[in-house]
Amino acid sequence: MNLTAEQMDQGRRNFMRLLAGVPAVATLGVAAGLRGPVAGGPVKIGFIGVGSRGRTLLTDVDPAYGQVRALCDINPTSLQKADDVFKKNSVPPARHYADWKEMLQKEDIEAVVMAPPLWAHADLAAGCLDAGKHVLCEKMMAWDEEGCERMRDAAHRNRRVLELGYQRNYNPLYQSAYEGIIKTGAIGEIYHVRTAWHRNGSWRRQGDPPSPDFNPSQWGYPTFDHLLNWRLYWKYSQGLMAELCSHQINVVNWFLGATPEAVIASGGLYRFPEGREVYDHIYATFEYPGGRSVTFSSIESNAFDDYYEMYQGTKGTLILLHESDAMFFDEEASKRSTAIAVSPRDGAAVAQSSETMAGNRNTSTASASTASSTGTGPRPIRIEIQRFCSAIRTGTPVACGPDKAIASARPCIRANEAVKQKARLLI
């Protein structure tokens, strides 16, 4: 995107003007009407996988909704770092386990929040569900379609809540965009969506084994590098399509009210060919019903574009940038300049007047994530975990769920297959 600061500011003004015209936006946040888990108290939770992503989830557990009783990870270093999260949040520590089955047997827990490597999702989630536990599992749902179906079947069979970690569903900014621009038809008919997630780096993590004799082979990892950098190997990972694209496909499916029918894709190891298997550059075009197309690109050689979703309609263009900024541009080049901002309050998007917003990601008040980072509203992940706990206690429906998560995983899995087969594949 090549937008000046002035254009971005005008785009934000346009976005807020449209929201101000939708009465429901004032109270539409995903947590609006959310009932806290009063009966029974906070949900008793065990964590499986407390690496970097797992610790992010751990940080956002609201003690009014969930109480973490136990942590499970095969890497002792990750468990030690997780203990630091408890200290920082001033909450009681949790017991440690390396075996998730032992944790379930010994601990009095009702639910599991899990963020292990992708290839383990299906076995762990289905096992926890069959043990009678509710599950919040990080995205992508599973390494393959069979694993996704196994997880969904286990949730249905055991009548347990299964939610997947697509936090955009819980972001008041995305809720506002959908209600105020997509659902109202302000954007017109959408025939093309452009998504991108660009970075400049190898995705490789650096670290030492927790001890000289640490042997991860008993868990299926021949070397410590395979455990630490599991995202770089096909055995455990679906690469950029799973870790990045599935987030964006999930929200595109929501906004378009449809799922893709076919995909063509290309990619390869171009910049970092050594010591990894998954692509460092990939480009995909998804074909949706009604002649609509969605493009996705992810590169590891330039970060200028960063990440965004752009919806191009017959009446205007909606841009959602960094999960924290929103802009709308009328095809008629509207000249209205009313400055209105949205700040999440208790999980809801609230319209309010504001000064002109600066043209950068750090100062936008049209933001769920930014507002949360300054203490003016909860982070989407925190809302996600609150809603998961509320679903367990009071039956409040989750925002994504297994059906939507499978519809997000399948296109990404097929896109990787399309690259390998050099063919257009049906989804």
CATH number assigned to the domain comprising residue 227: 3.30.360.10
Q: Are residues 16 and 65 in the same domain?
A: no
Q: In this predicted structure, what is the pLDDT of residue 377?
A: 60
β-strand 111-114 against 134-138: which pairing, if any?
parallel
84 and 181, same domain (yes or no): no
The answer as to whether 384 is a domain residue is: no
pLDDT at 114: 98
Does the structure show a pLDDT above 90 at 275?
Answer: yes
User: Domain limits at 411?
Assistant: 5-24+169-203+223-374+401-426
Residues 146 and 59 in one domain: yes
pLDDT above 50: residue 371:
no
User: Does 38 score more than 80 pLDDT?
Assistant: no
Q: How high does pLDDT run on average in the chain?
A: 88
The secondary element (H helix, E strand) that includes residue 128 is: helix 121-130
Per-residue pLDDT of 228-272, as tens digits, reads 999 999 999 999 999 999 999 999 999 999 999 999 999 999 999
Question: Per residue in 169-181, pLDDT tens?
Answer: 999 999 999 999 9
Q: What pLDDT is attached to residue 344?
A: 38
211-236 pLDDT, tens digit per residue, is: 999 999 999 999 999 999 999 999 99
- Measured CA to CA in angstroms, residue 306 lies from 104, 237, 239, 298, 413 at distances of 40, 22, 18, 9, 23
Closest alpha carbon to 369 in 311, 307, 321? 321
The answer to the question of residue 137 being in a domain is yes
Residues 154 and 175 in one domain: no
Q: Would you give the distance in Å from CA 44 to the centre of its chain? A: 23
Asked if 352 contacts 341 with a C-beta cutoff of 8 angstroms, the reply is yes
235 in the same domain as 182: yes
Statement to judge: residues 131 and 187 lie in one domain: no
What is the number of domains present in the chain?
2
Look at 39-43, 201-205, 330-334 and tell me which has the smallest mean pLDDT. Answer: 330-334
Q: Are residues 173 and 162 in the same domain?
A: no
What confidence score (pLDDT) does residue 24 get?
54
**Would you say the pTM of this structure is higher than 0.95?**
no
